Structure 1
């Protein structure tokens, strides 16, 4: 009569089993038999569309309600003589008419950045053109953000009519994202002899510029 040695199989079946996610048990026959068991997991990552624009005070990817004031005072002896007038030391988050500009987007191949203005006036019938405000674009020297391209962002030109949208700056995405930053520095050209008064102000007399970033 033939005899079969089955004790190893019985011992294996007596071992407690745990069923966790997808699994597979393989019971080798014999001590020298190679065996392989496999199990699987599926992964999924969802990235939301993000569009972020900062002009002036604020921090990256955070909401901020502060609106900075760019304030020019023309010296009495220089009214309309063409000498460039710098903004006051307290103007802009970077001082002297300079502001941080930061743009992040991850949902389109191109992002459009534009400015919108209304006629800048003194409330008494006198106006000054937005073409009298000069804007210089440059990289940030402090407060740079890791992962951003710090070469400066071209300022979207103010509307030639002094009312409405200006000329947009279009920024192409790289690897599906736009991550650009820099600074804008504003100066007053001082090319006109104007009626006395304060032109613009804190959301008054056409003094506010609205910047808008758009991705399709």
Structure 2
């Protein structure tokens, strides 16, 4: 729980932290990291109670190179604005964040060290998000996308019958395919299929 994790606030030399699949953790849980400014890797995958205020608590982690917020489906564009202040970030997983939009992706242009970005099944994104990423100044080489209607149509389709069916099909048959982005331009071919869980130790320039 949040209360239990707050007891860890005195651990100042933490470098690798994983709270993966901890559904009881909310915004207060990230306060325990307030004095741990040496953290390099942080995995918050599927911490579904985490909100924008919890992500704001991470802004002081200036040495953070790898972050997963995948499955934290209460996060909005405001969280991405907070993430954009993590200047050392190289690997970022935002998969299954249903509430983020193209505007939030635009904030990530400030991440000048970003090498790998995962946006699979972020159903609020459109083709415009890809245009924004293509113009990033970062040395991004891997972009992971899951299939959903937004990227195919260029707009958000809110039809419950079609949207739900297509998303279910994507989860059943398609994994996140990394796209090579040489020199920061989105013009490379699909170069593989990514089907494993987020691994904080994965190098940014590799694919599974």
What range describes the TM-score normalised by the shorter chain of this pair? under 0.3
With a CA cutoff of 8 Å and minimum separation of 6, indicate the structure with the bigger relative contact order: 1
The structure in which a higher percent of residues are strand is 1
TM-score (norm 2): 0.22
TM-score (norm 1): 0.22
